Structure 1
Amino acid sequence: MPDNCKNASSGMSSPTADSQLNQSTALESRPAPDNKAVVVGLYGVPGSGKTFLLDQLRRQLGQECFAFYEGSKMIATVVPGGLDAFQKLGEQEKVHYRQLAIDTIGKKCADSGQVAVVAGHFMFWPQEEEAGCPVYTQNDLDTFTHILYLDVPAEVVAQYHLDDTGRSRPSTSVAHLRKWQQAEKTQLRRLCRHHGILFSLVSPRPTLLDRALTLLRDFLHHTEEYNLSLAETRLDETLVTGQGQPETVLVMDADKTLAAEDTGTLFWKRAPSSRRPGGDDCPLKTLFSSPLGYSYTAFRQATLLYEETADDQEFDALCRDVASAVTMHAEFVSLLRLIAEKEHVGAVIVSCGLRGVWEKVLEREGLSQTVKVIGGGRIADGLVVTAAVKAALVARLQGAHQTYVWAFGDSPLDLEMLSKADQAIVVVGEEQARSKTMDAALMNAIDNDGLRARQAVLPSNASPRLDTTKLPLIQLTDHEFVDSVLCRRIQHPCIQASIQVLHATDRNAAKLLMTPTRDAKVAGPVLREAHHRVGWYLATEFLADVIGIEEYPIAHVQGHHTSGYRLLHEQRTSIVALMRGGEAMALGVNEAIPLAMFVHASRPGDIMLHHLQGQHTVVLVDSVVNSGKTVVQFVQHIRNLHATIRIVVIAGVVQAQSVSGGILAQALACHAGLGLVALRLSDNKFTGRGTTDTGNRLFNTTHLP
């Protein structure tokens, strides 16, 4: 907040100066409370036009969504006696009232939901002093969410001083104003990185007002939740504009995955040195090594760095220049061209890097019509891509769009995405250029987080990551690999009604398997074993056809690696044994698909939300289905908890009438994603009791009433 420096010592030793900065370096970026207001600081040296711009913004934006504050006026309202009394206070008292003023603004805007725009001073620096006197407080750092700095040329500011006859200002040279500005910009950048505050210079190109309006309108609505929602919308639009609903989608990182180059590094090498924020050769390196890490806030800050470096035309020209220096790996170009010929396979680039660069690279390769890019770089892009966004988009493809996902990435930022995908490929570049932190993060993901992945080494003579047992090698051009990407996959039961009911009634295998289950002399453990075999058979013979299978790498007995097969989304499958008659058969199903979750349920309410969250399929297992009433109650309960999860019912015997005209038949017709697998359909409507009840026979309780 604004103040003068009469009683403060020179240099940077005040309570509001380096002592705060030194403390801040130990802080990680802290998540804002849910009700924290968006408070934007408007800084600049005296005479740079803060008050004039604040009035312009008030007229342009109105005060429904925004509230505008002049810092000195706010201090006057909280200090008894106003500014005159404030000037007579000691330094510690001044700090107290500065803090009170910003706290008041923060609370008002938290209560109203408005975005606050606060014009004030960061430091004062009389020309005769060796160093400036900062006047910000810790509360400013805790309250501001964004800071805009008016980067007006010192010559222009000096002229403003001469033209402003209404104010009396000390004489200040252009050289001193330039030094003052540079000190403020340097310190503000550093403080903002350490306190999770988004910072941007606002230059007069084309005008201060235009730039500030663009940024403030963005700050008004942009949150992490909004960002994810927009990314999901872009993904949905990408699929809609394609050739049809794909069965398989490739989700690919871009930089150092599709090509050896990092487009961000190339961009900053080509940007004029005078435009690089803070004078850094690569500002992104400084940003991502700060306490912000690779957070949502960090990527938003990266966008602001690009914004202040170039206007739209300059940015587009730089992107075109960078794209000309990017060479996609020939293996990916070949694979993507094959995908372009298939309606059932799609591809999307989800990049933390520059969307504008990768669209131009794809255009050059003739792939821009079939491969779309979800990424950012500019405020106009609307979004930023984080590791969490990548993972969420894979989950959306699998859930909302019911697609099989291959993911390709090279760095720790891709690990969440790779772990979510049905098939994960780690792209490994030349050793000197690859991510230095990936090995440890990858090892942890494989050992502790259940990641199953393979690696593609590009170029082929580069050394692999880890070892090829833990991370098996593949060749992107290998025919078997290409076929596994391009193959047709089993459609869901809601799409192919003909596979809603599958049974083995007339098969010889069914006749052999059903015999001990119908033999009155067989009970107890022997009968349970017979039901176990039925469950294993039905899962192996039919469940794989209903749900589909997927490849995964295995070590061949002859010492090399080959492909194995398992149920599609096996790790995201829940087997529910309908107690007590369904348990033995459910255990047989579990033997066939051992990675699945196993749940006991005597009634629908035994199935809880946590049994379904993150899951792709629920398999309900019972020994006998008569009318189907119990099964339908379970289905309805599951649908209330999870509207889209696939449900497959497995049973030993199902009354034929229940699937031809009963309530179970109606459920099969009405509930999308519901299928039934049975050993046999029976016209016998007899319901067992006592010695004929399957549950009693399974557990030797036929003698009980």
Structure 2
Amino acid sequence: MPLSAGVVVGLYGISGCGKSRALQDMKDERMEWRCLEGSQVIRDVLETQGRAMDDFQTSMTDGEKLATREEAAKDIQEYPGVTIVAGHCSFPVEKPDGTVAFEDVFSASDGETYDAIFYLVKPADLVAQQRRHDTGRARKELSVQALTAWMEHETAHLREKCQQHGIYFEVVEQDTCDDCHQGLINRIVEEVVTPAAAKVRIKSENALRAAIRADIPDADIYLLIDGDRTLCRQDTGMLFFDKATPDKSPLRKIFERYDEYTFQAFWEAAMLYERVVSQSEYRQISDELGQDSVEVFDKWVDFLKRIPEGVQPVLVSCSNREVWRTVLDRATRDDDDQIANGLKRMCIIAGNHVSLHSYVVDDNAKAIVASELRKKSCGCRIVAFGDSALDVPMLKASDRAYVVVDSRRNRSMKTFLDSSKGCRSGWLQQLIDLDPDGQKLFWHDGLAVASLNGLLDEITTGSIYGVQDCAVNGDSATLLACQTRRADLSGVDLQRVHEQVGMYLADRLVDHNGHRGGLICDAEFPHVQGSAFAGKATSCNVLILALMRGGEPMARGVYQRFPSAQFIHFDLPNCGIQVEDHRVLHHIFKNASCEQTLNVILVDSVVNSGTSIRRAIHSIQHNANKANPSLRVAVVSSGPGSSTTKIFLPPSFPAPTPGMILLSCNPTPPRLSPLPLPLHPPGFPTSRPLCQIHRSFQPRTPSPISLQNPFAADPTPGPVSHRSLQSHAPP
């Protein structure tokens, strides 16, 4: 399905005003435009009918002429790019009395064809001079007065017709015979092409989203890989035009017109692919390049062979889709016995041809791929690879960003790399050097160097989800763990023990993720000597969710460490989450503004099967996605209740969350579950460590928010609940 219905611009003016020269200038300046003489289009239609142009002028009836013009208009409209047509509005007819009248030939089909008409006007004496000196065409001798009357007649007639059909009309005045037509080209771009590009962009992005939903399967991890100079050493676009046309770098000329990458430039490039060769030649050249000229880096082939199920590679390229399809087909065919599902199941998102592809891939489209995959597979991990400024939006939209050092040394990314050095939060940025010709320069300094083998290890062990084990062992943790297991403690005494555990784990939470995670902030306090001093205080951007009923005593301990937090009792009956809990969460998230991150601490005393925690997290995720706040989530618990349990959390929770922390009291460090775990990613251990903190950080830059606390006006200390406190049996 073609990308768009096309844009047709009419170039009108009386015979001899310079339409043909203007059309030739446009052909030379804008190779991607289709520039046609209206008479030639009619001649081509007549040839299909077995007639000549002389028949059209002499023997054909008015009805036959009209049918021929309508067929010509249909052919013009079929091109999905920009078409410039030099046309005729009328012809002079000499009356018996010697005066000149004008026969109008602008038809209703012409009115339905054009999106804009530009009318060329020159002084009549210059037009008369040009008509006399043009020996290539036989023209009737007309006086300056007749030429002036002709121009005035056509201007008035075309203006009226354009108003009737809703066509943009503009008169372009030129004063000399040697006028440069760059001004005319600029007007066409400004008034027609640029507005059309904006409409085409909407259609292209909609088609891209539909293709992502239809062609890319659900997965736990998506690998978004750029094509040219990332997956291979070559630039397939340049290779194509070197083979297709003797003109040097016509593709580069398009992008040099613009100060930055724009959709309009990529749309014009897609037109260029249509213009330089026929569709059959396009497919032939693409196939030849894919067979003989493009080689995937060996390290990529080895990496993609070994990726497990649940990991979906996606090639995201602004270049030639057909070339890459041939390259991947050849790679899987050459080593069919050893190639695992990685290369075979790689999806291709690429669009560069206005007639063959329904969308165009530009830099913004690459970011759309990442965002749509998050919607499609909730909780998925996005890992992106790129080498140029075109890949920056995709890298920023990913959880992990890998910059592949290319033969150009990533010069177009210099500003981006300099500005993002030293970031301690947000998406992870690392370098991968795959090309022996690549060389790191000073703008690469300060960036971590990674490898595909290292990434593969993270995928197969599950650490790609960002889980880090930070064991906290000590006598104090031992004392607390023992107290919670005493059979002689119950009721209020046992609740006090769980409250102490909550305080202890809250302290560990602050130690490991306090200032960086936004749990503490800078504050000013009055000094005993009467002055003020700077210090640290717990943040008010904290929401404590006490999972009813056993989590409430421990949550009170957490609340003592975060007295400015909101405190909500969160109930999970057998039938699902309480409707009022949904409403309260949605209200809190909805009232969060965009200055600071909200920290959500979900507290339960004991985790058995993990079902309650999972349901609570999905509830938070559901409401967070609606309100779209920036969240950090901590799950605080005294640990699993059995040695065989695992907590089934989403791989990444929730999509906008920059981090997750799981706190528990048990004896040995946990062991991460290996992939593939499409529904059950790494979670709690089978053993019982004494006091364990699991930190999972999703490396995305959060949209900072500030929480407008709906309970901040209440000066009364103690837990605030949206419903009355339930009675508590000993946990």
Give me the TM-score of the superposition, normalised by structure 1.
0.52
Query: Does structure 1 residue 696 correspond to structure 2 residue 721?
Result: no
What's the Cα RMSD here?
Answer: 6.6
SS in structure 2 of the partner of residue 303 of structure 1: helix
Query: Does structure 1 residue 3 correspond to structure 2 residue 13?
Result: yes
Q: Deviations over 1:26-65 (max 9, x none)?
A: xxxxxxxxxxxxxxx9963352236877612767999xxx
Cα contact 1:387–1:413 (8 A) shared by 2: yes
Equivalent residue for 1:322, pick from 289, 304, 324: 289
Q: Identity across aligned pairs (percent)?
A: 19
Cα contact 1:115–1:220 (8 A) shared by 2: no
Query: Does structure 1 residue 49 correspond to structure 2 residue 49?
Result: no
Equivalent residue for 1:638, pick from 618, 623, 629: 623
Equivalent residue for 2:310, pick from 324, 329, 344: 344
In the alignment, the residues of structure 1 paired with residue 561 and residue 168 of structure 2 have an alpha-carbon distance, to the nearest angstrom, of 58
Match of 2:321 in 1: 355
Match of 1:685 in 2: none
Match of 1:535 in 2: 506
SS in structure 1 of the partner of residue 322 of structure 2: helix
Alignment of 1:213-224 (within 5 A): 223-224=200-201
Match of 1:335 in 2: 303
Cα contact 2:38–2:87 (8 A) shared by 1: no
Residue identity in the other structure for 1:361: V
In the alignment, the residues of structure 1 paired with residue 199 and residue 596 of structure 2 have an alpha-carbon distance, to the nearest angstrom, of 27
Residue identity in the other structure for 1:364: R
Cα contact 1:653–1:679 (8 A) shared by 2: yes
Structure showing greater radius of gyration is 2
Equivalent residue for 2:244, pick from 268, 271, 282: 271
Q: Deviations over 1:170-196 (max 9, x none)?
A: xxxxxxxxxx9xx98x88767656667
Query: Does structure 1 residue 197 correspond to structure 2 residue 200?
Result: no
Cα contact 2:414–2:443 (8 A) shared by 1: no
Cα contact 2:422–2:446 (8 A) shared by 1: no
Residue identity in the other structure for 1:197: V
Equivalent residue for 1:443, pick from 418, 422, 435: 418
In the alignment, the residues of structure 2 paired with residue 413 and residue 614 of structure 1 have an alpha-carbon distance, to the nearest angstrom, of 30
Query: Does structure 1 residue 605 correspond to structure 2 residue 590?
Result: no
SS in structure 1 of the partner of residue 224 of structure 2: strand
Residue identity in the other structure for 2:133: E
> Does the C-alpha gap of structure 1 residues 54 and 377 become closer, same or farther in structure 2, counting only changes over 3 Å?
farther
Shift of 1:672: 11
Shift of 1:395: 1.9
SS in structure 2 of the partner of residue 44 of structure 1: strand
Shift of 1:428: 0.8
In the alignment, the residues of structure 2 paired with residue 126 and residue 509 of structure 1 have an alpha-carbon distance, to the nearest angstrom, of 106
Shift of 1:459: 2.4
In the alignment, the residues of structure 2 paired with residue 419 and residue 253 of structure 1 have an alpha-carbon distance, to the nearest angstrom, of 14
SS in structure 2 of the partner of residue 405 of structure 1: strand
Q: Deviations over 1:623-646 (max 9, x none)?
A: 999x99xx9999599268259999
Residue identity in the other structure for 2:458: S
> Does the C-alpha gap of structure 1 residues 472 and 59 become closer, same or farther in structure 2, counting only changes over 3 Å?
closer
In the alignment, the residues of structure 1 paired with residue 590 and residue 403 of structure 2 have an alpha-carbon distance, to the nearest angstrom, of 35
In the alignment, the residues of structure 2 paired with residue 416 and residue 377 of structure 1 have an alpha-carbon distance, to the nearest angstrom, of 19
Query: Does structure 1 residue 391 correspond to structure 2 residue 376?
Result: no
SS in structure 2 of the partner of residue 397 of structure 1: helix
Q: Deviations over 1:104-154 (max 9, x none)?
A: x9xxx9xxxx98545776688647269999x999x99xx9999xxxxxxxx
Identify the range of structure 1 (248-257 vs 462-471) with the bigger mean alpha-carbon deviation: 462-471
Query: Does structure 1 residue 294 correspond to structure 2 residue 261?
Result: yes
In the alignment, the residues of structure 2 paired with residue 259 and residue 490 of structure 1 have an alpha-carbon distance, to the nearest angstrom, of 25
Give me the TM-score of the superposition, normalised by structure 2.
0.50
Alignment of 1:97-496 (within 5 A): 116-117=114-115, 126=131, 128=133, 197=193, 223-240=200-217, 245-273=218-246, 280-291=247-258, 293-323=260-290, 324-339=292-307, 342-366=308-332, 369-378=344-353, 379-402=355-378, 403-430=380-407, 433-446=408-421, 452-460=428-436, 462-466=438-442, 470-477=446-453, 480-488=454-462
SS in structure 1 of the partner of residue 361 of structure 2: coil
SS in structure 1 of the partner of residue 274 of structure 2: helix
Gapped regions of structure 1 (runs ≥ 5): 19-23, 26-40, 63-68, 75-83, 88-100, 147-179, 200-218, 274-279, 493-503, 542-573, 591-600, 657-667, 681-692, 700-705
In the alignment, the residues of structure 2 paired with residue 637 and residue 385 of structure 1 have an alpha-carbon distance, to the nearest angstrom, of 31
Cα contact 1:652–1:679 (8 A) shared by 2: yes
Cα contact 2:317–2:349 (8 A) shared by 1: yes
Shift of 1:361: 0.8
Identify the range of structure 1 (293-302 vs 406-415) with the bigger mean alpha-carbon deviation: 293-302
Residue identity in the other structure for 1:619: V
Cα contact 2:226–2:316 (8 A) shared by 1: yes
Alignment of 1:513-662 (within 5 A): 531=502, 533-535=504-506, 576-577=543-544, 605-608=587-590, 619=600, 621=602, 638=623, 641-642=626-627, 650=635
Residue identity in the other structure for 1:390: K
> Does the C-alpha gap of structure 1 residues 424 and 224 become closer, same or farther in structure 2, counting only changes over 3 Å?
same
Cα contact 1:406–1:422 (8 A) shared by 2: yes
Shift of 1:327: 1.6
Q: Deviations over 1:58-79 (max 9, x none)?
A: 67999xxxxxx998769xxxxx
Q: Deviations over 1:629-687 (max 9, x none)?
A: xx999959926825999996856799x9xxxxxxxxxxx9xx9999998979xxxxxxx
> Does the C-alpha gap of structure 1 residues 678 and 361 become closer, same or farther in structure 2, counting only changes over 3 Å?
closer
Cα contact 2:409–2:438 (8 A) shared by 1: no
Cα contact 1:605–1:637 (8 A) shared by 2: no
Gapped regions of structure 2 (runs ≥ 5): 1-10, 43-65, 78-84, 91-99, 122-126, 138-146, 170-176, 333-341, 467-476, 513-540, 547-554, 567-582, 607-611, 642-649, 666-713, 721-731
Identify the range of structure 1 (320-329 vs 462-471) with the bigger mean alpha-carbon deviation: 462-471
In the alignment, the residues of structure 2 paired with residue 530 and residue 119 of structure 1 have an alpha-carbon distance, to the nearest angstrom, of 78
In the alignment, the residues of structure 2 paired with residue 643 and residue 651 of structure 1 have an alpha-carbon distance, to the nearest angstrom, of 23
